[in-house]
Amino acid sequence: MKEIRYFYSPNASDLTELPSDEAQHAIRVLRLQVGDDIYLMDGQGMFYHAEVTLSVGKHCSYIIKEELPQTKTWLGRIHLAIAPTKMMDRMEWMLEKATEIGVDEVTMLLCQFSERKKIRTDRLDKIIVSAMKQSRKAWKPRLNDLTQFKDFIVQSRRGRKFIAHCYHDIEKVDLFEELQQVPQDEEITVLVGPEGDFSIDEVHFALEHGYESIALGSSRLRTETAGLMAVTMGQLSKRKL
């Protein structure tokens, strides 16, 4: 049986050929031929069953044979806002895994103790697309560019908002326990700090703006593990069974 090929094409139904990077992969790596079946994902809930009609040079054209609307497997929205780690590979695998497990939106935060102050959003976006295709996610997680902590906090936001931190003298609730009390279809936003944690000023600023102080269990987790744990707790609380 031939493996089913998935391609990401955000405007699949308006177009008749694959975006150039996907076309190159289709032609040079997969060596698709006229008549081959392909599947297109628009990242907005629709898959398309299509057939290759032309495969020449850098162009791969198709005709859509069937629309395949997908059903989201979880309710509400999961938004992770996280300070990127000094070592970018740790952030990259976190994004790959969060996409596989299921996340709706990720914002990279610039915090007081951030060691990394620049990110390449285009590179991270490619990792998300690759994980989305591999795990057949019908909705593409939205990735926001590096945002100043305080700018993020003052933005109006729906649903419940949480900040994970390591200060022992600020009372915390366990995120997973708390999520059992939150309606499944409610949006949640979880903040995870850099290696050196949020500053105490940042934590207070968030608490003053309606964020709830939380722990992600009792383990001492690295930034990227904490991010993934937050997404997993959200997912296990919001998934449809």
Binding site for its own copies (CB under 8 A): 73, 93, 97, 100-102, 134-137, 174, 176-177, 217-222, 225, 228-229, 232-233, 235-236, 239-241
Work out how close the CB of 135 gets to its own copies at its nearest, in angstroms, rounded to a whole number: 5
Q: Are strands 142-148 and 105-110 parallel, antiparallel or unpaired?
A: parallel
Q: In this complex, which beta carbon is closest to its own copies, that of residue 149 or of residue 165? A: 165
Amino acid at 203: V
Work out how close the CB of 222 gets to its own copies at its nearest, in angstroms, rounded to a whole number: 7
Q: In this complex, which beta carbon is closest to its own copies, that of residue 52 or of residue 124? A: 124
Work out how close the CB of 102 gets to its own copies at its nearest, in angstroms, rounded to a whole number: 6
Q: In this complex, which beta carbon is closest to its own copies, that of residue 156 or of residue 218? A: 218
Q: In this complex, which beta carbon is closest to its own copies, that of residue 133 or of residue 161? A: 133
Q: Three-state SS string across the chain, please?
A: CCCCCEEECCCCCCCCECCHHHHHHHHHHCCCCCCCEEEEECCECEEEEEEEEEEECCEEEEEEEEEEECCCCECCCEEEEECCCCCHHHHHHHHHHHHHHCCCEEEEEECCCCCCCCCCHHHHHHHHHHHHHHCCCCECCEEEEEEEHHHHHHCCCCCEEEEECCCCCCCCEEHHHHHCCCCCCCCEEEEECCCCCCCHHHHHHHHHCCCEEEECCCCCCCHHHHHHHHHHHHHHHHECC
Contact at 8 Å (CB) between 24 and 34? Answer: no
Work out how close the CB of 123 gets to its own copies at its nearest, in angstroms, rounded to a whole number: 18
Work out how close the CB of 220 gets to its own copies at its nearest, in angstroms, rounded to a whole number: 5
Q: In this complex, which beta carbon is closest to its own copies, that of residue 61 or of residue 70? A: 70
Q: In this complex, which beta carbon is closest to its own copies, that of residue 97 or of residue 206? A: 97
Work out how close the CB of 74 gets to its own copies at its nearest, in angstroms, rounded to a whole number: 9
